[in-house]
A and B are shown apart, each in its own frame.
Chain A
């Protein structure tokens, strides 16, 4: 069997180091030994095709998962999942999670004193369509304090988890909101060395995606690692 067509390597500057001391928790969790560079084999260029049977339409509308509507500013978050050549990644699972409008996760470990919202869980999932498009309806998450440094606050964000077509395209990231004054102060965001690359995580307010009299639209495209081009490709 011939060797598989490899995926492009991590883009320098666009991906964070494991050790980033301003994000204090990395100090004890980052390996000290260098990673061992290895060729991509069948084990890496394959990956889970996961969860398709379990996604239902209501999973992508986080405002309709309870009896009543959640508190907060209703938003529509949409975009495309693409590879580095700009090709859509169809039928791939996108999972999101976030705080409620007050900045509190439903997770039992979240001790922030902000109120829980009985009408909001903050978890959603969907599959991209044939053009790589996805859409979630939710409420804008709140900022919240954390203990990384004195008076530390995370900017409002939505966590995204994607699989893409292989083990190598697995991506967990966070989506931020344009104009948030907490972004430049955030050690998680600032862990990305290339500032232009970091800005790819900031969603864009989009009047086109805004639904009149109902919800603001934010656009967030996600680019996964793509394959090396092959000379034979048509």
Chain B
């Protein structure tokens, strides 16, 4: 047995190494599924935006299949969709992704999970990453989602649900509050 290597902060100066243009766009013309835009901001405990965070997302394709060898479901893969995205926050703490709405994937036991996107948050001042999830406002299956169901207080559950954008078709807003009022739910995985 070997012990885990500890996590350390990504620090403020990762941009020249970890970022490549276009990583916030997960779709091409050939990708199957409903186009969506996820946009949001990241805030600290004072409500100040983080201009040096890195948001990574991982999601299933429109059919609800992950592009990964451990996903052995009999659902189609999409050669034009791999499901990973990465976006740094800008000076106003803003990030955005252009992707597709994922299909549902299996949950524990014989449950089905509501469509969701897995999120990793990295930043200066964070010795290890935080993990959260994006669900979608108006999705009926949210009510039976086994992971959302773990969050007791309805007010806290709301922090995991991206809101439909005002007047903009297919746009969802998902803000991340690291601390304080409206603090986002983070998971121990």
Contact = CB atoms under 8 A, between A and B. Distances in A.
A11 B8 CA distance: 14
Given A42-B106, A107-B15, A15 B58 contact: no
B186 A31 contact: yes
A39 interface: yes
A83 B125 CA distance: 27
Contact of A14 (B6, B58, B180, B188): B6
A43 B7 contact: no
Given A26-B126, A167-B118, A170-B120, A96 B7 contact: no
Helix, strand, loop or mixed for chain A's interface? loop
Interface in B156-189: 156, 178-180, 183-189
A86 B45 CA distance: 40
Contact of A15 (B4, B15, B123, B184): B4
Interface residues of A, number: 82
Contact of B118 (A9, A27, A43, A83): A43
A139 interface: no
Contact of A121 (B16, B56, B122, B184): B16
Contacts of A18: 126-128, 130
Interface stretch (A45-53, A69-77, A177-185, A211-219): A45-53
Given A16-B128, A29-B126, A84-B4, A41 B68 contact: no
A82 B2 contact: yes
B70 A46 contact: yes
Interface of B: 1-18, 20, 44-46, 48, 50, 52, 56, 58, 60, 66-68, 70-73, 82-84, 105-109, 113, 116, 118, 120, 122-130, 133, 146-147, 150-151, 156, 178-180, 183-189
Nearest to B84: A48
Given A29-B123, A37-B188, A42-B66, A197 B17 contact: no
A107 B156 CA distance: 37
Given A3-B109, A16-B6, A85 B186 contact: no
A86 to B, nearest CB: 5
Contact of B13 (A9, A28, A85, A109): A109
A23 B125 contact: yes
A97 B70 contact: no
Contact of B7 (A28, A36, A173): A173
Given A3-B109, A223-B5, A167 B128 contact: no
A37 B124 CA distance: 24
B188 A35 contact: yes
Contacts of A4: 70
A41 B127 contact: no
Given A18-B128, A97-B14, A110-B13, A30 B179 contact: yes
A224 B58 contact: no
B10 A29 contact: no
Contact of B5 (A9, A43, A222): A222
Contacts of A96: 17
Contacts of A159: 8, 10-11, 14, 17
Contacts of B4: 10-11, 14-15, 84, 197, 200, 223-225
Given A1-B106, A16-B127, A188-B8, A106 B16 contact: yes
